[in-house]
Structure 1
Amino acid sequence: MSEKPAARHRGFKPGLAFRLAIVLSLAMLPLGLISVFQTMKVLEERRTLSETALLEQTQQAVSETREVIRSAVSTARTLAISVESVAATDQGCDLIMSRVVDKTELYSFAGFVDANQQLICASNGERQDLTELDIIRSDLESLEPGIIVQPLEFIGPGSAVIVTVPVIDENMHRGTAWVAIPVEAINEILADVDTEADLVVFQQDGDIIATEHFVDDRRSVLPENKSLQDLVDEGRQTFRDTNRQGLRRHFAVVPIVEGRVFALGSWRPRSQNSYLPGYEGAISLYFPLLMWLIAIAVAYIGVHRLAIRHVWRLRSWMRLFAAGRTDLDSARLDNAPEEFEVLADAFRAMTRRISEQERRRDEDLKEKTVLLREVHHRVKNNLQLISSIMNMQIRNTESPEARHLLRRVQDRVMALSAIHRYLYLARKLSKVRADSLLDDIIKQLVTIGALDEVDHRIDISTSFDPVEINPDQSVPLSLLATEAAINAVKHCGVERGSPCWINIALKQTGTDTLCLSIVNSRSTDEGTETDTRDTDGSGLGSRLIQSFVSQLDGTLETSMTDDRYELHVTFPLSWPEVDEDDALPAK
Structure 2
Amino acid sequence: MRQGLILVVFAALLPVVAASFLQGQSALEDARKLAFERMIGTASAVAERQRDPFVIGQHLLLVHATNPDVTDMTDTCDAALRASLSSYPPITNIARTAADGTVRCSAIAFAGNINLAQEGWWQRGVSAKGMTITKAPIYGRIAKRDVLFLILPLRSGDGRQNGTLTAAIDVNYLRRALHDAGARNAGTLAIVTRDGKVVTDSNNALAFKPAMGAEPDQPIEARDKDGTMWIYTLHKIYSSDLFVVYAEPRAQLMATAVAQMRAGMLLPLISILLASIAIWVGTNRLALTWLRELQNMSARFAKGDFKGDQARFERAPEEIAAFSADLHIMADVIDRRNTDLTQALEAKSQLTREVHHRVKNNLQIINSLLTLQSGRVREGAAKEVLAQTRARISALALIHRLLYEQDNGYDRGEVAIDNLMAELCLQLRSARRSMFQVELTCHARNFPVPVDYAVPLTLFVVEAVTNAFRHAFPAGTRGAVHLNLDLQAGDAILEISDNGIGYSVTDEAGQMGTELMRGFATQVEGNLSIISSEGAGTQVILKFPLPNMSITNAPPLGSVPAF
Question: What TM bracket, shorter-length normalisation?
Answer: 0.7 to 0.9
- State the match for 2:211 in structure 1: 229
Could you tell me how far apart the structure 2 residues matched to 1:406 and 1:551 are?
25
Shift of 1:521: 1.4
Q: Structure 1 residue 516 and structure 2 residue 494: aligned?
A: yes
Q: Structure 1 residue 133 and structure 2 residue 120: aligned?
A: yes
8 Å contact from structure 1 (residues 200, 210) kept in 2? yes
Could you tell me how far apart the structure 1 residues matched to 2:51 and 2:457 are?
126
Note closer, same or farther for the CA distance 1:50–1:564 as it changes in structure 2 (3 Å cut). farther
Note closer, same or farther for the CA distance 1:209–1:575 as it changes in structure 2 (3 Å cut). farther
Question: SS of the counterpart of 2:313?
Answer: coil
8 Å contact from structure 2 (residues 125, 152) kept in 1? no
Could you tell me how far apart the structure 2 residues matched to 1:231 and 1:334 are?
82
Shift of 1:417: 1.6
Could you tell me how far apart the structure 2 residues matched to 1:159 and 1:555 are?
132
Shift of 1:365: 1.2
Shift of 1:457: 0.9
Note closer, same or farther for the CA distance 1:156–1:77 as it changes in structure 2 (3 Å cut). closer
Deviations 1:300-336 (A, max 9, x none): 6666666555544444432332343323475363355
Could you tell me how far apart the structure 1 residues matched to 2:515 and 2:151 are?
141
Pick the aligned partner of 2:3 from 18, 31, 39.
Answer: 18
Shift of 1:441: 0.6
8 Å contact from structure 1 (residues 148, 163) kept in 2? no
Note closer, same or farther for the CA distance 1:268–1:189 as it changes in structure 2 (3 Å cut). farther
Shift of 1:377: 1.3
Pick the aligned partner of 2:402 from 422, 426, 439.
Answer: 422
- State the match for 1:435 in structure 2: 418
Pick the aligned partner of 2:91 from 107, 122, 125.
Answer: 107
Question: SS of the counterpart of 1:129?
Answer: coil
Could you tell me how far apart the structure 2 residues matched to 1:324 and 1:361 are?
13
8 Å contact from structure 1 (residues 111, 119) kept in 2? no
8 Å contact from structure 1 (residues 199, 266) kept in 2? no
TM-score by length of 1: 0.74
Question: SS of the counterpart of 2:357?
Answer: helix
8 Å contact from structure 1 (residues 198, 212) kept in 2? yes
Deviations 1:361-405 (A, max 9, x none): 111111111112112212222222222222223222336112222
- State the match for 1:503 in structure 2: 482
- State the match for 2:244 in structure 1: 262
Could you tell me how far apart the structure 2 residues matched to 1:382 and 1:338 are?
65
Tell me which amino acid in the other structure corresponds to 2:2.
A
Could you tell me how far apart the structure 1 residues matched to 2:453 and 2:104 are?
141
Deviations 1:535-579 (A, max 9, x none): x7362322333333333334445555865543433333334369x
Pick the aligned partner of 2:448 from 468, 482, 490.
Answer: 468
Shift of 1:295: 3.8
Deviations 1:108-157 (A, max 9, x none): 4546899x996888746955335x73998599658796651153666766
- State the match for 2:135 in structure 1: 148
Shift of 1:506: 2.1
Matches within 5 A, 1:248-259: 251-253=231-233, 255-257=235-237
Could you tell me how far apart the structure 1 residues matched to 2:129 and 2:527 are?
125
Deviations 1:270-296 (A, max 9, x none): 69xx76447666444322222333444
- State the match for 2:175 in structure 1: 187
- State the match for 1:395 in structure 2: 375
- State the match for 2:191 in structure 1: 201
Shift of 1:265: 3.7
Q: Structure 1 residue 566 and structure 2 residue 546: aligned?
A: no
Note closer, same or farther for the CA distance 1:517–1:148 as it changes in structure 2 (3 Å cut). same
The alignment's C-alpha RMSD in Å is: 4.6
Tell me which amino acid in the other structure corresponds to 1:515.
I
Matches within 5 A, 1:51-70: 52=37, 59=43, 63=46, 66-67=47-48, 69-70=50-51
Note closer, same or farther for the CA distance 1:358–1:201 as it changes in structure 2 (3 Å cut). farther
Could you tell me how far apart the structure 2 residues matched to 1:68 and 1:554 are?
124
Pick the aligned partner of 2:513 from 531, 537, 541.
Answer: 541
Deviations 1:43-69 (A, max 9, x none): 55455545555666x549x83xx3454
Deviations 1:207-250 (A, max 9, x none): 22212469xxx56x34xxxx5218945854387x875457x687
Pick the aligned partner of 1:210 from 200, 214, 224.
Answer: 200
Note closer, same or farther for the CA distance 1:150–1:42 as it changes in structure 2 (3 Å cut). closer
Shift of 1:299: 5.3
Q: Structure 1 residue 374 and structure 2 residue 354: aligned?
A: yes
Matches within 5 A, 1:275-294: 276-277=256-257, 282-294=262-274
Tell me which amino acid in the other structure corresponds to 1:410.
R
Could you tell me how far apart the structure 2 residues matched to 1:550 and 1:154 are?
144
Question: SS of the counterpart of 1:326?
Answer: coil
Deviations 1:465-521 (A, max 9, x none): 333334333223323332222233345459x999412222222334x3332222321
8 Å contact from structure 1 (residues 270, 277) kept in 2? no
Could you tell me how far apart the structure 1 residues matched to 2:273 and 2:362 are?
82
Shift of 1:359: 0.8
- Mean Cα displacement is larger for which, 320-329 or 389-398? 320-329
Note closer, same or farther for the CA distance 1:460–1:82 as it changes in structure 2 (3 Å cut). same
Shift of 1:357: 0.6
Shift of 1:440: 0.8
Note closer, same or farther for the CA distance 1:493–1:269 as it changes in structure 2 (3 Å cut). same
Could you tell me how far apart the structure 1 residues matched to 2:142 and 2:265 are?
58
Could you tell me how far apart the structure 1 residues matched to 2:256 and 2:160 are?
53
8 Å contact from structure 2 (residues 116, 122) kept in 1? no
Could you tell me how far apart the structure 1 residues matched to 2:126 and 2:369 are?
151
- State the match for 1:73 in structure 2: 54
Shift of 1:446: 0.5
- Mean Cα displacement is larger for which, 361-370 or 562-571? 562-571
Deviations 1:251-280 (A, max 9, x none): 553525387513234469669xx7644766
- Mean Cα displacement is larger for which, 254-263 or 296-305? 296-305
Note closer, same or farther for the CA distance 1:360–1:97 as it changes in structure 2 (3 Å cut). farther
Could you tell me how far apart the structure 1 residues matched to 2:487 and 2:131 are?
116
Could you tell me how far apart the structure 2 residues matched to 1:385 and 1:482 are?
20
Note closer, same or farther for the CA distance 1:183–1:309 as it changes in structure 2 (3 Å cut). same
8 Å contact from structure 2 (residues 13, 272) kept in 1? yes
Note closer, same or farther for the CA distance 1:356–1:91 as it changes in structure 2 (3 Å cut). same
8 Å contact from structure 2 (residues 148, 168) kept in 1? yes
Q: Structure 1 residue 576 and structure 2 residue 549: aligned?
A: yes
8 Å contact from structure 1 (residues 509, 515) kept in 2? yes
8 Å contact from structure 2 (residues 50, 174) kept in 1? no
8 Å contact from structure 1 (residues 151, 157) kept in 2? no
**Identical aligned pairs, as a percentage?**
22
Tell me which amino acid in the other structure corresponds to 2:6.
A
Could you tell me how far apart the structure 2 residues matched to 1:284 and 1:465 are?
80
8 Å contact from structure 2 (residues 92, 143) kept in 1? yes
Note closer, same or farther for the CA distance 1:573–1:228 as it changes in structure 2 (3 Å cut). farther
- State the match for 2:14 in structure 1: 29
Could you tell me how far apart the structure 2 residues matched to 1:458 and 1:142 are?
152
Pick the aligned partner of 1:411 from 391, 394, 399.
Answer: 391
Question: SS of the counterpart of 1:539?
Answer: helix
Tell me which amino acid in the other structure corresponds to 2:423.
D
- Flag structure 2 segments of 5+ consecutive residues without an equivalent: 552-563
Deviations 1:444-472 (A, max 9, x none): 111121xx565x71122222233333433
